[in-house]
Structure 1
Amino acid sequence: MSVLEVRNLNIQFGGVRALDHVSMEAGEWEIVGIIGPNGAGKTTLFNCITGFYRPNKGKIRYRGKPITRLPVHKRTALGIGRTFQNVGLVKNTTVAENLVTAQHLETNYDPWAGMLGGPATFAEEARLRERADQLLELMDLSDVAEARVADLPYGVLKRVEIATVLATDPDLLLLDEPGSGMGPEEAHALGDTLLELRKEFGITIVMIDHHVPLVTQVSDYVYCLNFGEVLAEGRPDVVRNHPEVVRAYLGEEPVEDPADVASEEYV
């Protein structure tokens, strides 16, 4: 059974068809990459999966359960976590406070107990802070734990956002441009971190990124979208060298050796 299954998804905004019969899936513990030029429909696909948009046609299933009509909060409760292109953090608080706040749905006390305080409340808050510290260490962010989010560079903020989503204990992690604002070395280090997160938490990851080397470094399977359609899919090396993918990114015909073309396996 796939963790995530999208079938024949269509969505229109006015006369513009943003997604046209898009299908994809992600299996247990897989890392699936989604690439494509600006305006290809990548973030629209994420918005449909997470419930921010309702598709005109098509089905979305999470672990075999239909979720196409579920609201956002119910999808989150099932175990779907997501980051955004524009970092979604409480910027006037510290990094550690953001991670603790993200865990409050998992607390074992009611709001009144939280306001009045007490031994059980203090013990629970200590547990949340300890877990936050563990996540910060795993994401190599311990040195900025007490830094104000608003004071951090964009590349660090993206890592903080991933840590904050992990604090919600997701089963499926959707990453929207996690490598944005990072140089090649930072992006490569992020790729190593994502592989470690999969191993550490046993999660499935679906990621959008323009940084193709990052996507091919970590992904088991890749989809390329263009003008709202799946242009190519398959192993990272196959999709990266697919003539239509090269044309979509570069706007020109790929130059390839005929012998390579004959032996290439395209989807």
Structure 2
Amino acid sequence: MSVLEVDALSINFGGVQALREVTLRAGEWEIVGIIGPNGAGKTTLFNCVTGFYSPTSGRVRHRGRDITAMPVHARAALGIGRTFQNVGLVKNATVLENLLTAQHLRIGYDPVTGMVGGPATFVEERGLTDRAHQLLELSGLAGHAHARVADLPYGLLKRIEIATVLATDPDLLLLDEPGSGLGPEEAHSLGDTLLGLRKEFGLTIVMIDHHVPLVTRISDYVYCLNFGEVLAEGRPDVVRRHPEVVRAYLGEEEAAS
């Protein structure tokens, strides 16, 4: 059974066809890459998978369960975690506080008990804090735990956002441009981190990125979108060399030269 199944997904915005009959699969513990030029529909696809957009037609399934009509928070509770192109963090909080906030679904006490306090709440809060520190350690971010998010560079924020999503305990991790703003060495390091996190947490990862070397190095399977349709799919090296994929990125004249 696939962790994620997208079947013939289409969505229109007025007269614009943003996605047309997109079908995608991500199996247990796979890393699936999605590439394509700007405006290809990649983030729109993620918005449909996570419930921010309702598709015009088609279905989305998580571990065989139809979630097409399920609200965003219910999908998150199922174990679907997602990062964004524009970093979704609380900028005036510390890195550690962001990870603690992300764990709110794990809290067992009610709001009144939380306000009053007591031994049980203190024990639970300490457990959440310990888990946040462990996630930061595994992500190579332990030295930034008490830094204010607003004071940190963009490339580092992308890694912190991944750690924050991991705090929600997902089994399916959707990464939107995790390599954005990273140089070649930083992107290579990020790739190693993602491979390590997959192994450590037993994750299935679906990632969008324009950094093609990063995607093709760590992905088990790759899809290329163009104008809202799947242009090519297959093993990373096959898709990377596909003539239509080269043309979509470089333009017909450059690809032919």
Please say whether Structure 1 and Structure 2 have the same fold, judged by a TM-score greater than 0.5.
yes
1:113 Cα deviation after fit: 1.2
In structure 1, what is the Cα distance between the partners aligned to 2:210 and 2:23?
20
Query: 1:219 corresponds to which residue?
Result: 219
SS of aligned partner of 1:12? strand
1:109 Cα deviation from its structure 2 partner: 1.0
Query: Alignment length, in residue pairs?
Result: 256
Alignment-derived partner of residue 106 in structure 1: 106
Secondary structure of the residue that 1:232 maps to in structure 2? Answer: strand
Instruction: Give the corresponding residue for 2:34.
Output: 34
Inter-partner Cα distance in structure 2 for 1:149 and 1:93: 6
Q: Report the equivalent of 1:181.
A: 181
Separation in 2 of the partners of 1:26 and 1:88?
24
Percent same amino acid at aligned positions?
78
Within the alignment, does 1:146 sit opposite 2:146 as a pair? yes
Q: Which residue number corresponds to residue 167 of structure 1? A: 167
Distance apart, 1:254 and its partner CA: 3.6
The equivalent of 1:5 in structure 2 is: 5
- Gapped runs of 5+ residues in structure 2? none
1:124 aligns to what SS in structure 2?
helix
> Which digits, 9 at most, give the CA deviation of each residue in 1:49-80, with x for residues without a partner?
00000000101111001011111111111110
Cα separation, 2, equivalents of 1:181 and 1:74? 31
How far apart are the structure 2 equivalents of 1:49 and 1:152? 30
The whole-number CA distance in structure 2 between the counterparts of 1:254 and 1:30 is: 31
Paired residue secondary structure (2:175): strand
Aligned equivalents of 2:206, 2:32: Cα separation in 1: 5
1:209 aligns with 2:195: no
- Structure 1, residues 122-142: CA drift from partner, whole Å, max 9, x if none? 111111010000000111111
| Aligned position for 1:70 | 70
**Deviation for aligned residue 1:119:** 1.1
Aligned to 1:44: 44
Query: 1: distance between equivalents of 2:225 and 2:78?
Result: 27
- Secondary structure of 2:90's match? coil
Q: Distance in 1 between matches of 2:142 and 2:28?
A: 30
SS at match of 1:223: strand
Deviation sequence 1:22-56 (CA, Å, 0-9, x none): 00010000000000000000000000000000000
Structure 2 length-normalised TM = 0.98
Q: Distance in 2 between matches of 1:39 and 1:187?
A: 23
User: How far 1:101 sits from its partner (Å)?
Assistant: 1.0
Q: What are the Cα deviations for residues 176-223 of structure 1, in whole angstroms up to 9, with x where unaligned? A: 000011111000000000000110000100000000000011100000
Alignment gaps of 5+ in structure 1? 257-267
